[in-house]
Structure 1
């Protein structure tokens, strides 16, 4: 795919993520995405003739963004362990997750919207699993490191707790998570 086409496709998918976060699933129309991306009318339809194809591609793009964030977290964790030790690294990861809840709220809300849609729409089967795996990857990675390879660590329970705390904040139904709160969840699971 040419650079211009790839750039336009990425602009469409980024706009769809923003619309999912701000307007929900029903707010994502081809026309709305064109407008949000600053593209001529019909651009989104050219790349994604059906809404299901647009949503599936948006989910894959979102999973890639979440994976990149995970890689950045892994590097930061490794550097923190090397320079300041494990306790500082736990606090660092907790702080990064709290900052992510604030700074990447639109990605979190878009993930929830797409995951809910996947549970209700057959044409989006697998989307929820892909997004959940991408979002939980940093937590699983982190737990494997701090548990020193133990296999009895309840990764899913921890990820669920952190997702729940983040969700309540993202939708305005709970306080902003704190670094101490998230670190306490990590430590309690070990």
Structure 2
């Protein structure tokens, strides 16, 4: 990754500001100068940290992955071995609902970066690598729940949650965010069909 070494606080500030600009202004509004201004940094600070636009985008993707991983902290994820299907549904519903509400800005920024990655092969590789870690964790969870086809089930689950988030953040349902109970009900139907409504890990 072509980003210069700098103090974590400065790198996080630049990356967080870049994500906020992506959510507020879109890809065209993300420039080194705009980040400096929005972050209250001296002119040239962002360029010193990330010399090129590609480097700035990579910095934003890395920070996005770090922050999204904290949307549902690992210690908050229920152990499916203890609670079975309901436990898995509760954890995923909480993460999805947070992405729709208090982390809506991050979700918008992710869609901006995902679209840009379709035009930049070098960013596509980087973006996909960060997403692979989440899919691996999800695969381990559904495997523990007895999935007979984890790869296909993870694809369906990611497609369902991404579709819900896009519809409610940027699509035709943007004016109506579903409540936590509604998200939980949808995931229960989906995962129950995949894994069996009565299954529990023993």
The TM-score with structure 1 as length reference comes to 0.82
Structure 1 residues 186 and 138: alpha-carbon distance in aligned structure 2, compared to 1, 3 A threshold: farther
2:67 alignment partner in structure 1: 65
Structure 2, unaligned runs of 5 or more: 196-202
1:176 alignment partner in structure 2: 177
Among candidates 52, 55, 64, match of residue 54 of structure 2: 52
Q: Is the 8 A contact 1:20 1:110 kept in 2?
A: yes
User: Aligned pair 1:107/2:92, yes or no?
Assistant: no
1:129 alignment partner in structure 2: 128
Distance 1:141 1:176 in 2: 29
Which structure has greater helix proportion?
Answer: 1
Equivalent residue of 1:154, what SS? helix
Structure 1 residues 104 and 26: alpha-carbon distance in aligned structure 2, compared to 1, 3 A threshold: same
What is the root-mean-square deviation in Å for CA atoms of aligned residues? 2.5
Q: Is the 8 A contact 2:36 2:43 kept in 1?
A: yes
Equivalent residue of 1:41, what SS? coil
Structure 1, unaligned runs of 5 or more: none
- Report how far residue 186 of structure 1 moved: 2.0
1:68-147 matches, within 5 Å, as 68-69=70-71, 72-73=73-74, 75-78=76-79, 82=82, 85-96=83-94, 97-137=96-136, 139-147=138-146
Structure 1 residues 131 and 23: alpha-carbon distance in aligned structure 2, compared to 1, 3 A threshold: farther
1:13 alignment partner in structure 2: 15
- Report how far residue 180 of structure 1 moved: 1.0
Structure 1 residues 138 and 170: alpha-carbon distance in aligned structure 2, compared to 1, 3 A threshold: farther
Structure 1 residues 135 and 107: alpha-carbon distance in aligned structure 2, compared to 1, 3 A threshold: farther
Distance 2:134 2:111 in 1: 11
1:188 alignment partner in structure 2: 193
2:200 alignment partner in structure 1: none
The TM-score with structure 2 as length reference comes to 0.77
Q: How many residues align?
A: 183
Bigger drift between 176-185 and 28-37 goes to 176-185
The Cα offsets for residues 114-163 of structure 1, whole Å up to 9 and x where unpaired, read as: 1111111234231331343245455434322323x533552112211111
